[in-house]
Amino acid sequence: MQTRNAPDPPGGRRGEAPPVSPIASPPQASAGAPLYAALDLGTNNCRLLVASPSGPGGFRVLDSFSRIIRLGEGLSATGALSDAAMNRAEAALEACGQKLARRPVQVVNAVATEACRRASNGPGFMRRAERALGAPIRVIPAREEAELAMESCAPLLREEDRRALLFDIGGGSTEVAWVRTDGPEAPRLIGTISIPLGVVTLMERDGAACFSEEGFDRVVQEVAAKFEAFDGVHRIRQEMRAGGVRLMGTSGTVTTLAGIALDLPRYSRAAVDGHELEMGCADKALETLRLMGRAGLAAHPCIGPERVDFVLPGCAIYAAIRQVWPAARITVCDRGLREGLLLRAMRARRRNRRGG
């Protein structure tokens, strides 16, 4: 898949030969090429990509947008989206709508995730959100989240992989997908689990505690316990011992760990996406983050003040996954729902044009 992203905030998402080849200069859509847009309205961020097809199974990103909106702020306590959070999200969606209006976009796929699934006032807010964007927005179930993440990360799989375990640490929830990759067909889900713990929910409940060793470890054990039953059903640890299982992570947490491990002077998607991070290096990066303190996290160029509250809660979730499923390395994926939506839409158009 060939992409070029306009910069997202620090900590967005080096291998020997990265599957993603960034384009050196801003690409222009070729004459008559259809334009696609994908929008992810998440619990913590609003993100947009506008792209055109490029080669078999790839695309070029022409425009992008990412803003922290904290839509799920206070949701775990009240069960509803707050006025302030909805206003922030509406402003971000209006900005995305303006971007869409400046280009002849033919297909817009917009989805909302955990915050809008859970909120009692979610349906009412969705009507506001669609007016702000100028396009329909679909609230998707957790399983579809996992499927879209799987589709976007599939190009990073290798021929020798027979299974993959993919995790996505979000704002309001964390999805884990157990994927079969050794059949003649495209990778397919064997099973998936979604837990209602993400960087926003944990920040609001245990954000301060995560800065202490005791509090951090308590959260790790709580999250790990939620994944043990899933492992019991699918015997993933046993499969890992047999070999051929790739652990993959897509989230700001895992890309931040990669940025720290690679000692990047500033976050670089080209350096991070597809990088195979040895677990020893990941462990050192995690410890580095825990020792930084709030001021150090805010000052780091791969993190920044807007994300300082979410780093350690995300690290606690990652540490729980690491504890339950001890792999030798992790493939870092700076890609997710938006890329999955684009690939799905482009594939559907190709099928329609072939008449099948």
Q: What is the pLDDT of residues 251-277, one digit of tens each?
A: 999 999 999 999 999 999 999 999 999
pLDDT (tens digit per residue) in 98-138: 999 999 999 999 999 999 999 999 999 999 999 999 999 99
Nearest Cα neighbor of 257 from 226, 237, 287, 296 is 287
Hunting for tokens 């300082």 — which residue is that?
308
Residue 23 lies in a domain: no
Average pLDDT rounded to a whole number, residues 307-328: 96
In a domain, 250, yes or no: yes
State the pLDDT at residue 29: 45
Q: How confident is the model at residue 219 (pLDDT cuts 50, 70, 90)?
A: very high
Examine residue 128 and state whether it is found in any structural domain, yes or no.
no
User: Among 4-8, 304-308, 343-347, which stretch is predicted with the lowest mean pLDDT?
Assistant: 4-8
**For the chain, how many structural domains are there in total?**
1
Tell me if 303 sits within 8 A of 10, measured CB to CB: yes
Rounded to an integer, the average pLDDT of 2-12 is 40
Query: By the 8 A CB rule, do 52 and 1 touch?
Result: no
Flag whether 289 is in a domain. yes
Query: Contact, 302 vs 260, CB < 8 A?
Result: yes
25/329: higher pLDDT: 329
Provide the edge-to-edge strand list for the sheet that holds 329-332. Answer: 188-195, 174-180, 163-169, 245-249, 329-332, 276-278
Give the E-state strand segments of 2-145 in sequence order.
Answer: 35-41, 45-53, 59-68, 105-112, 138-139
Higher pLDDT, 220 or 24: 220
Query: What is residue 250's DSSP assignment?
Result: -
Euclidean distance between the first and final Cα of the chain, in Å? 23
pLDDT at 20 over 50: no
29-33, 177-181, 271-275: least confident range: 29-33
Does 232 reside within a domain?
Answer: yes
Q: What is the pLDDT of residue 356?
A: 54
Q: Is the pLDDT of residue 25 over 60?
A: no
Q: Does residue 108 lie within any of the structural domains?
A: no
| Structural domain includes residue 259 | yes
Share of the chain above pLDDT 70, in %: 90
**Domain limits at 239?**
143-332
What is the pLDDT averaged over residues 22-45?
70
- Of the pLDDT bands very low, low, confident and very high (cuts 50, 70, 90), residue 28 is very low
Can you tell me which residue has the tokens 């979610």?
122
pLDDT at 60 over 90: yes
Q: Give helix 213-234 / helix 308-324 axis angle, nearest 10°.
A: 40
Whether residue 163 is contained in a domain is answered as: yes
User: What whole-number distance in Å separates Cα of residue 304 and Cα of residue 42?
Assistant: 20
Measured distance CA(84)–CA(69) in Å, rounded: 10
Please report, for the domain that includes residue 237, its CATH number. Answer: 3.30.420.150
